[in-house]
Each structure stands twice: as structure tokens, then as C-alpha cells.
A and B are shown apart, each in its own frame.
Chain A
Amino acid sequence: MIAAIQALLDGLMIGGVYAVISIGLTLVFGVMGIVNFAQAEFLMLGMFTAYYAWAWLGLDPLIAAPLAFAVVFVLGAAVHHLMIRRVLKAPEVAQVFLTVGLLIVLENAALLMFGSGFKSVATSYQTSALHLGPLFISVPYLAAFLMSVACGAVLWLFLERSWFGRAMRATAQNPMAAKLMGIDSDRMHRTAFALGVGLTAFGGAVILPYLTVSPTVGDQFVVLMFTVVVLGGLGSVAGAVVGGLAVGIIQSISGLLFPIQMQNLVLFVVFIFVLAIRPEGLLGRAR
């Protein structure tokens, strides 16, 4: 019983982080209809930004997370301007493979710039845990979880309350009508893409205290992120939160019932099953 509660707790915390890194992916799809296969590379760039902020400036990754967001936000706007906006009307396959090309470029550019080593930060709270009776709460997990919750709350306020956020949602729901209302759709797309990759980078920074970063770290997350957003419903921000928590908990609980080697197997089988019976995702609206 204790083991089950512990697993649930661990799954919840890691799931919160999965949610934040995946929100960007679902946001980009929701607003512009593009599935960005290179999304996880922006996670890697966020981790590297936080790493260098720690190595050169002595900043804790949790404090450097907004910096990682800002750096990748600017980069994302540039990527959108140079590439993504040119394929918005192209066939789906061309969009997918443009982002696959971007994935290859970013991963190898990082290899050239940052070297191939695994880099990690050393922080004071890295190896500490809170004890709640028989339960353990890892402090770096908790910190990442809380940062993710804060980030999600700010995003929610932005999308719900600000004019810009509402305009962005309007563009997602009905691009034509939004245009008629005088909303500059190119600007919306650029902002959505930049915001999307920036959020993922933010998530990368907050998980750095308990992970390591290398140019190929994105490979570990790419399929996972897709699972999260599809479970929640592609394009749904609230869905990504539900999907993230679901993936975290499935991973954690399956570790109790099956060999840990089967962790991802269980996850993908659940994923295909959910798609088969409810393709719009757990929360998504039918498309």
C-alpha cells in the first residue's frame, strides 16, 4: 500500500513536468496545425541554456528557467520566420519532414557547439528528500513540479485573460474569422510557436537538477511528449496537463506491476488503445 502511494506521488510530480514540456507541442498544433517533431530539441536547448547559466553565471537552473524561456523564445520566433511559416499551407507530410530536418540540424549543431559530453549541474538540494512518515518526496522533483505548476498558471492567465491570449485562441478556433476581426495571423503564429518552444525550454531548465544534458537528450523525450499530447487531445492545453499526469502515473504504477524494462511498452500500448477508442484524446474535442 505504501509502495502504491509512493508510486502515485512520484508519478504525479514527474507528470507535472511532462505536462509543461508538452504544452508547447500542443499549443503549436492547436494554433497552427503543425506537429513539431523538433520540439524535444528545444527542451535540449533549454537545458543547455540553464547549464551554461549555472556554469558561467552561477545561477541555479530554477532561477535560470525564465532565461532559458527567453533565449529559446527568440530562437523560436526566428525559426518560425525562416521556416515554419513557409510550409503552413504545404501538405502535412512536408510539414512533418521539415521539422524532422530541423531536429537533425539542431541536434548536430548542439553537438558542434557544446560537445558530446553529458553535462550536469550540482545544486545543494539535489540529493535531499522530504520524509512524510514512510514516504519520500525528492526535493528536485518537487521543485520541478512546483515550477511547472507556476508556469502553467501563468500560461493559463495569459491565454484566458490577456487580449493577446484570446486573439491566439481565436486564431486557433477560426483563422478566417480572426483575420476578419483584424488579428494579424502571422504574428499570432510566430508568437504561438515561440511561446510553445519557450515553454518546453522552461521545462528543460527545471528538470536539469535531476537529469543530465547532452545533444541527444531530446531522443529520450520525443515519443513521450507525443504520447502526452495525444492522450490529452492534440491542441488542447488542458488536455496536455491531464495527459502529462496520466503518463507520469502510468509509468510509475507500471513499475510496480511489471518489470521496469516494460515501462514504455505499457505506456505505448495504453496510448494505442486510447487512440483506438477515443482518438480525440481524453479531453480533446472531436475534430
Chain B
Amino acid sequence: MTTQRKAGLGRRSTLKLGVAGALAAPFLSQRAHAAGSVNVGVILPLSGANAQFGINARNGIQLAADQINAAGGIKSLGGAKINLIVADSTSTPTTAVNVAQRLLTQNDVVAILGAFVSTLTIAISEVTERRGIPLLTMSFADQITGRGFENIFQVVAKASVIGKAQFDDTLAIAAASGQKLERIAIMYEDTAYGTSQAGGLRTGAKNAGVQVVMDEAYPLGITDITPLINKLRSSGAQAVFPVSYLNDSLLIIRAMRQQGITIPAIGGAAGYVIPDFAKGLGEYAEGVLSINLSNYDLAPNLTKAFSDRFGYFMVHEALEHAVCMSVLAQAIENAKSTEPDKLRAALHAGKFTNGWCAAMTGGAVQFDSTGLNTLSVPVMVQWRNNELVTVWPADVAKAKPVWKS
């Protein structure tokens, strides 16, 4: 404590400062981390409404890190081990920035991975950008790579691209089965995720000259979905594109069945591509299509380690966070250093093909100057027997799509 050494303070105030120092001790730097290890910060929502996704993501990162360490760590740094520092962002951006600041100051992390929710990721990026520390993410709101930041790296496509793919792929799948879509419905939660992806859907429909007969946002955590489904029923749409998390996705599909609405529902990832979707809907899940950012069946040899260890299939956020971890390790390997400047240069320069990168579409990860992975293409998946099968685009598909109009 430097304050204690200042002259001219009485015995009592010195004592007071001493007490304050003791109280503040946990907030001061704990630089004494194990020699020969690389600290990597992991910030995820581990409590609150998004906890489930945060925990899935943490599992993915943990798996990737354990594999890297078991294979001998970072070889160009003499076999240094990856040491994960995990912190709970909660659902509050203020807290997310607090923990980011903490990991940077106290744990000397070389990079941060996270934070699933776009608004949390954007908040954290304001700190990492000013400190020049790389932030690797699978959040995909358009602003993330749209602000000209140099230290952000996004391993998946942007929301507007995903939304457009959700529409374009559907149009193509329907056409391949002989149906020409003319009228569609869009419904989305009024969050950053919902609104930006709905924007992509709208663009896709506009470009294709397809009429959007219903375009409705609804409040997150809606307790009664019926008004929405009533509107859908009277809209005359031939297909519906819901963009929502699990709770709403179950409500939407069930309410559609109740009212005898049989038009295809093409989900917007999130709630439509997790095991609980099939668990909650049973037979009604069968055949539901959804866009996805990646899928575990594209690299079964890699993702099996996840299902063996955690007991459920490797959901996309776990997979993509594992990719973040893997990309970071390869960049450190290439940079032969954890210096922020060298690390950033290595991340921008490389085409990463090893480890988990092979599980991404394109089989690799490569960032452009904005930090966007240019090789990532969204895929269309379909529920078959409680598994997600990639059905589009044709060059990566594992099976032919089934379209019921």
C-alpha cells in the first residue's frame, strides 16, 4: 500500500488505511499465477435468464482447453498450459464490464472469450478495444464487427446474414420440393437478436419478391402467445419464420398445433436447435427446420467427445466457443508470444484449420479486417429422431431436406 508510506498521517489514520487496505486486498492484483501457463478469460452469463447458454458455452471451452493441455499445451511457449479464468457476467452489461476489467487487471488474461449475449459482448468490447486485448466471440449482432474495432473476432456469420440465409435456404428447399413460396410470416422477440435477424429475413423476402403478410415483434417473456397465433392463422402465410428462444418456441409450435396450423415453421436458431426443444415437443419437433450457425453432425469425430462427457449433443454455442478457444490457441502458437500486438496480428493473419476449426463450415476460420470469419456460412438443420441433421446447403448436407407444405 503506497498510501501507507505517505508521511504526516497520524497513528490512527494509518491504522484506518491499514484496515481499508486489508478490505481492499481481494481487489488488488493477484499476479502470482502458475509459471508456464497462459491465462484466458471466459466471461459468460452463468446466472439469470441466459444461464443455460452460458453453461453450455463454458462446457465447450472447458473441453477444448482440456484437449489442448492434454496434447502438450502451447508448444511454441514451451508447453505452456491454458488456464481458464471463468467469470459470471450475469445478464447486466455493467457487471460484464466489471468482470472484464477484473480479468484484465488481476489475472493478466491474454484474451477474453464470450459472452454469448450480443449486448454483453458489445459492452465488453468497449473495454478490450481500449486495452488492445483480443475478444473472441460467437455473438452475432451486426454492430459487433460493424464499429471498426481491431480487437474483436467473431467466428460466425452476422445476424443479418443469418436471417437472410434463414429465408433464402427455405425458399430453395421449398423450390426443390416443387413449392413456390409467395406469402410468409415473420414473428420475433423484440431483443437485439430478434430484431436484427428479422431484418435479414425481410431483406431476403424483399429481394425474392415474396410478400411478408405478417411481421410482428412480441415482448420477450410473453405469457400468452395466443394473440400472435390468431394473427398468424388469419394472415394466410405459407410458411412462418419465428425467431425466439426456447420458451417462446415451444409456445409457438404448440399453439400452432392447437389451432390446426400446419404450415412449416422455420426457426431462427436459439430455441430451435437445443435438445430441450425436442424434449419439450416430442413428436411435434420431428421435421421442424431451423437455421443454425454450425452443427455438430458436420464433425461427428470432434463433437462426440462433448456428448460423451456432458451427456447431450454439442449445441452450437458450445461448439463455436470451443472454436474460439481453439483459434486462440493456434494464434498464440503462431505468434510464439502472448503480447497483445503480436497476438492480434496473428489472429488477423492466419487461416486456422487445426483442432475445432475443422467443425466450422468451410473447414477453417479466417478473419477479415473487421474481425469477421469470412468462411462461416449458416446451415439449415432439420429435426430427425431427436437429432439435428444438416440439410442445406447441398455441399455440406448430411441428408436431403423434407418439406411439407
Contacts and interface: CB of A to CB of B under 8 A. Distances in A.
Q: Do chains A and B touch in the complex (CB under 8 A)?
A: yes
Interface of A: 3, 6-7, 10, 14, 108, 111, 115-120, 122, 126-129, 136, 138-141, 210-212, 214-216, 219-221, 224, 248, 251-252, 255-256, 259-261, 263-264
B341 interface: no
B250 to A, nearest CB: 6
14 contacts: A118-B246, A119-B280, A122-B282, A127-B284, A128-B258, A138-B258, A139-B258, A212-B247, A212-B251, A214-B49, A255-B230, A260-B228, A261-B216, A263-B219
Contact of B254 (A127, A219, A221): A127
B148 interface: no
Contact of B223 (A10, A214, A224, A256): A224
Contacts of B223: 14, 211, 220-221, 224
A142 B227 CA distance: 16
B227 A252 contact: yes
Interface in B290-320: none
B257 interface: yes
Contacts of A138: 226, 255, 258
B10 interface: no
Contacts of A259: 216-217
A10 B280 contact: no
B226 A108 contact: no
B254 A108 contact: no
A210 B250 CA distance: 9
Given A116-B52, A128-B258, 12 more contacts: A10-B227, A116-B54, A118-B247, A118-B280, A129-B258, A212-B246, A214-B52, A216-B51, A255-B230, A256-B227, A260-B231, A261-B219
B235 interface: no
B217 A255 contact: no
B280 A7 contact: no
| Shortest beta-carbon contacts, A-B, top 5 | A255-B227, A116-B51, A127-B257, A220-B221, A116-B52
A215 B250 CA distance: 17
B251 A210 contact: yes
Contacts of A255: 227-228, 230-231
B375 to A, nearest CB: 32
B217 A252 contact: no
Interface string B226-260: 11101100100000000000110011001101111
Interface centre among A111, A120, A141, A263 (most CB of B within 10 A): A120
A139 B260 CA distance: 13
B369 interface: no
Interface string B92-134: 0000000000000000000000000000000000000000000
Given A117-B52, A118-B280, A214-B247, A10 B224 contact: yes
